[in-house]
Amino acid sequence: MELILQNDTGSINMSGSAGCDIRITSITGLGALSYERRLLTSYDFDGAIESGRRMPVRSISISGDLTGGVSRAAQLSRFCSEPFKLIIITTRFQREINVNSCEIVFSDKNRAFIKFAMSLSCDDPYFYDANETKVGLYYIEKLISDKTVLPAVFSERVNQNTITVSGDRSIEPIITILGGIRNSGQSGEIVIENLSTDKTFTLAYTPQQDELITIDVSKRTITSSINGNIIEKITDDSFLSDLELPVGDTLLKTMNYGSAGEIGAYIIYKNKYIEALV
């Protein structure tokens, strides 16, 4: 197992192997958390009624030792004074979690190996894939290869794809749309249809060539690289929440109408997990 602590100032590596200058001896807090529940009780009925539940803040504890003396310990302490991303790398997965605060304590500072104990607090208790998944929603696929025999079709338009969410929770993706050559006409629209739920999201907007539109479902924003905020361009019967993807397979179809012309559309997401057990 390897841990990478990463933020804007740089990164620090930790490992369970003896050859690493910061060696991990124990780590806890990577398992599935129990929900915190709000219960209603009354003398009018037995037991209790649950009125709400939530996942609590995650606490992770890391113990180990390091070489390099007090200067190396000070470097680690300074790094942990700011929020950072904790990346967990194993033979089974690579997952990450955002650490909002960290308390670190050192002991045996006069020895060759300085012992340390870290207490990490994560406001968002979920783990995510360390690497993004990017799937095409609307693009041109080249069909030509070394085995192509003329006459043949060199390419085809793909506007339908299955998105697979393999984590433990539904995810709120980012969708990017790059404008291409526009068709004639004054108006156009881009439609994303969820064939698994029969819900439709319509953006009544015609992108210019090379204009990048970013639909960020989690932040509830739609921005253009040219015109800034364009969230008002969604139709009255469209909701960003309809673009949320549940665990499993979802079939999406993307269409462009009117002057929208050729576009390139992709969906980007990270799977969401309740644990990162090693």
Contact 160, 253 (CB under 8 A): yes
Residue 38 maps to a domain: yes
- What's the token pair of residue 45? 């009925």
- What's the token pair of residue 32? 């599935």
83, 200: one domain? no
Give the pLDDT confidence of 128-184 residue by residue, as tens digits. Answer: 999 999 999 998 776 666 665 555 554 578 899 999 999 999 999 999 999 887 766
Number of domains within the chain: 2
27, 121: one domain? yes
The CATH number assigned to the domain holding 269 equals 2.60.120.860
Measured CA to CA in angstroms, residue 93 lies from 13, 21, 130, 271, 278 at distances of 17, 23, 9, 12, 9
Residue 278 maps to a domain: no
Contact 187, 227 (CB under 8 A): no
pLDDT (average), residues 86-112:
93
Confidence category of residue 81, pLDDT binned at 50, 70, 90: very high
Interacting residues of 214 by C-beta distance below 8 A, sequence separation 6+ = 174, 175, 176, 221, 222, 223, 225
79, 210: one domain? no
The CATH number assigned to the domain holding 46 equals 2.40.30.200
Omega cis (within 30) before 151: yes
223, 245: one domain? yes
Length of the chain: 278
Confidence category of residue 110, pLDDT binned at 50, 70, 90: confident
Domain holding 82, by residue range, is: 2-129
Three-state DSSP class for residue 71: helix
10, 107: one domain? yes
164, 184: one domain? yes
Give the pLDDT confidence of 168-185 residue by residue, as tens digits. Answer: 999 999 999 998 877 666
154, 265: one domain? yes
Among 90, 113, 129, residue at a domain's last position: 129
Q: How far is it, in rounded angstroms, from Cα 143 to Cα 230?
A: 35
